[in-house]
Chains A and B, each alone.
Chain A
Amino acid sequence: MFKKYIFILIVIGLVGLCMNSIAAERELKIIAEAWYFDKYPLEEATENFIKDHPDVTFEWSKTGDFEVAPLMLAWSRDNYIADIAIVATPAEAVAFQAKGLLVDFEDVLNGEYAKEKWLEGFLSDCTINDKVYAIPTDGEIMTLIARKDYAHEAGLTDDNGDIIPPRTLDDLYEYLKKLTVKDQSGKTVRYGMDVNWSREYMILTYFSGIQALRGTIYDENNNLDFSSQEALDLLTFWQSGVEEGLISTSSLVDHSGPRNSMKSGLAAIMWEDHARVVEVGKVVGHDKLEIMPIPDALTNGTISYCMSLMIPKTAQNTEIAKTFVLEQLNADWFAHYLMDNWGKLLGLKRPLEGRQDQLVWKTVSEILENSVSLPHMVDHPRLVDIMTTEIQNMLKLEQSPEETLNNIRQKSVNLNLVN
């Protein structure tokens, strides 16, 4: 009798252990940059997923923006930190994959998630050596966003009240003159434009101009373009604008400077990512804003870029992680929430196609068609620092545009700018 009880107890214990281990296998650990928790409906996505997969539990944790070094250390030592890391951009994913630390998504990109169903620029940004190692979580294009009411006052709108797009940099310069307001002492009280030249945006802003003006970001030798006439024209346009008090330099200190200028009416046009049209619109009124292509961007496109998520090889629940990423973090409701509330795009085409009745998304789609992403570069951070330093020095009128391009070429000559 006693033996029987012992046997039953052992069986119960074993079953308990098995259940426990099964349950532990289904716990999805996700680490994400803190700002995602404020802007993304992660709780709702989690609840929806649990409804469909009741055996899965979640553990979310926060990390700082672009804090990739601790993850890299942990993963390269085979430590399990998370099944999904929603951190940084595909450029950082390149660094992770250089050590072979990531799982690719090739096996799940079929059917409704087949590669052709994704926005090409964003997916190619996430592709390393022909394999997709990251999934876009926040896609953007670089563009101009303009105040319609200020443009109307300056006589720059058509009969429908829409802004007549400037066709050249010279046209845009004339717009800035008309949109800038100065006081009696000559001090600018409203800038024609605020351009994001912060370290975070510099490379995107510069190459968005180059792509729009030239239709490519490369020079004749297939190097990144720091030598063409268009590059010189762009820098001259920026420097003259700053010198004449037409363009604000708020972004030299604060990467949020341009959007703050737009929100407070201190600038009439902003050169940044398209998503700000929604964010700024919440403050000044959506009817007062319009996405205005950079001259020639409708033909030549601009720069698209994305933030992304990745799955490390040390993940313990790779399959369920991929399912969650596709089923919830790329669901139409999730994408539309982000588009409507924050102007952010995800990777799939479908949600954007469903919003073509709105002018903002129609324009974004048109610009996106010819847009390109930046190449993946081993020395991307160094190039960004060189460009930021040199172009900011130029904006402080310490050197000419020619010297600036020359310095960038010289200082980047030894950089590894290929993946």
Chain B
Amino acid sequence: MKKKRTNITKILLFILPSLIIIGIFLLYPLIESIYLSFTNYNFVYSDAPEFTGFENFKQLFSDSYFLTAFKNTLQYTIVFFPLTILLSFLLALLLNSKIKGVSFFQGTILLPIVVPLSLAGVMFTWILAEDFGILNHIIANVFKLPQLTRFWLAEKETALNAIAGVGIWKYFGFCVILFLAGLKFIPKEIFESAEIDGASPLQKLIYIIIPNLHSSFLLVGIWTIIQSIKVYDQVVVMTKGGPGDSTLVLYLYAWKNAFEYFDMGYAQTVALFVGGLAFIISILFNFILRPERK
């Protein structure tokens, strides 16, 4: 009995540093953030937070800028989420096959991961520029289609998609790694049996690869959704939410409220909404892709 108690004490002592760190840097800010979201607190002009109940949450749904930011974030997710998964999955399949120079291609695909997102934003701002951007140059002079050149970041129809493109470029390499890891774990015997049974490549993909990559899809899916809901860096660098409000996203709106308008209460409400949204979507995704229990 005494030994058991000593063991528990030891365990508690070992996890204490983590608990303290989690408490100070995660739990306390979270509780403070939840509290502030129920207050009216202007960092500059208020002496102290004033409790207002659910006023900030009510305001969210009548705030046209918030609704636009929400719509834009969803639009970004609709482009970013499926394209990242599809592209990275296809590339992982390709890199898993026996092609020449596979190591070179694997290395190349990983390169964008080491480029900071803000730097990638600057780089793409130049690539997508109207007059001197290389994309327009290629479209006009290589493909001889000058009528298709556009001011990609200044046009409402293309700005958000261009930003999603930068996100895909930056993150798909990481997703390829996750899929590749999953592919390596599929036993070769299954493929051999399938070949003996005369399965076509498409049948192998549908009946062997995809079901066996269930965990990879779950991981990539949740990670991609979280990345798309918290999109911020490339928006700030490339468009700052413009033109107009066409690329205003939730995190940028939360930041504006906190550090431009100093409205900490409302900013926390927006931030909580973003966090809650990511949490709910992750749970849903987990639920949809859960393994079937027999």
Residues of A within 8 A of B (CB): 69, 72, 95, 98-99, 185, 187, 198-199, 249-250, 252-254, 261, 264, 266, 378-379, 381-382, 385, 388-390, 392-393, 395-396, 398, 411
Contacts and interface: CB of A to CB of B under 8 A. Distances in A.
Interface residues of B, number: 31
B243 A395 contact: yes
5 contacts: A72-B44, A252-B154, A385-B65, A393-B243, A393-B244
Contacts of A390: 244
Interface in B141-196: 146-147, 151, 153-156
B186 to A, nearest CB: 45
Q: In terms of DSSP, what is the predominant structure of the interface of chain A?
A: helix
Nearest to A261: B131
Nearest to B248: A389
Given A249-B243, A250-B130, A392-B244, A98 B155 contact: no
Contact of A381 (B125, B153, B260): B260
A264 B243 contact: no
What is the predominant secondary structure among interface residues of chain B facing chain A?
Answer: loop
A385 B242 contact: no
A310 to B, nearest CB: 15
B245 A389 contact: yes
Contact of A199 (B45, B147, B238, B242): B242
B125 A249 contact: no
B28 to A, nearest CB: 17
B290 interface: no
A87 to B, nearest CB: 14
Contacts of A396: 155-156, 243-244, 246
Given A98-B45, A385-B260, A185 B243 contact: no
A69 B262 contact: yes
A145 B43 CA distance: 40
A346 B26 CA distance: 46
A256 B131 CA distance: 14
Given A250-B130, A253-B125, A199 B259 contact: no
A396 B145 CA distance: 23
Interface string B230-264: 00000000111011111010000000101111100
B153 A253 contact: yes
A252 to B, nearest CB: 4
Contacts of A249: 151, 154, 243
A384 to B, nearest CB: 9
Nearest to B126: A254
Q: Which residue of B43, B242, B246, B261 has the most chain A CB atoms within 10 A of its CB atom?
A: B242
B43 A72 contact: yes
B44 A98 contact: yes
A184 to B, nearest CB: 10
B197 to A, nearest CB: 56
A382 B146 contact: no
A134 to B, nearest CB: 16
Q: Which of B130, B153, B240, B244 has the most CB of A within 10 A?
A: B244
A313 to B, nearest CB: 15
B85 to A, nearest CB: 29
Contact of A264 (B64, B131, B245, B256): B131
Contacts of A378: 45
A97 to B, nearest CB: 10
Interface string B123-144: 0010000111000000000000
A69 B259 contact: yes
Nearest to B263: A382
Contacts of A381: 256, 260-261
A198 B240 CA distance: 10
A266 to B, nearest CB: 6
Contacts of B240: 198-199
The 8 A-B residue pairs with the shortest CB-CB distance, nearest first, are: A393-B244, A392-B244, A252-B243, A381-B260, A253-B153, A252-B154, A392-B243, A389-B245
